[in-house]
């Protein structure tokens, strides 16, 4: 009897978690000949606001 209760509970949990993955909340980017879907939480950034500098530490190679 406990096996069936555990099995039913497991199925309910799996169905509950899977139902959260079925939402279709996305936006569509369509510009400059390119079109794709992206998540609603993402924000579009215009190219003039992008920073194209590379930051980091350069290690010299010693042979």
In tens, the pLDDT along 5-62 reads: 888 888 888 887 776 665 668 888 888 899 998 888 888 777 788 777 777 776 666 6
pLDDT of residue 35: 92
In the numeric block, the tokens 């199925």 are attached to: 11
**Closest by CA position to 40, among listed 25, 51, 29:** 25
**All residues at 6 or more sequence positions from 63 whose CB lies less than 8 Å from its CB, including other chains:** none
Residue 62: the pLDDT is 65
Predicted local confidence at residue 38, as pLDDT: 87
Task: Note the pLDDT of residue 27.
Answer: 87
pTM of the model: 0.35
Q: E strands, the chain, where?
A: 26-31, 34-39
pLDDT computed for residue 50 by the predictor: 78
């Amino acid at each position: 009897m406990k096996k069936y209760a555990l099995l039913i509970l497991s199925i309910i949990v799996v169905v509950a978690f899977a139902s959260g993955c079925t939402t279709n909340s996305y936006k569509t980017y369509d510009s400059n000949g390119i079109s794709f879907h992206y998540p609603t939480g993402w924000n579009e950034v215009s190219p003039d606001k992008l920073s194209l500098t590379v930051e980091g530490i350069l290690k010299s190679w010693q042979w």
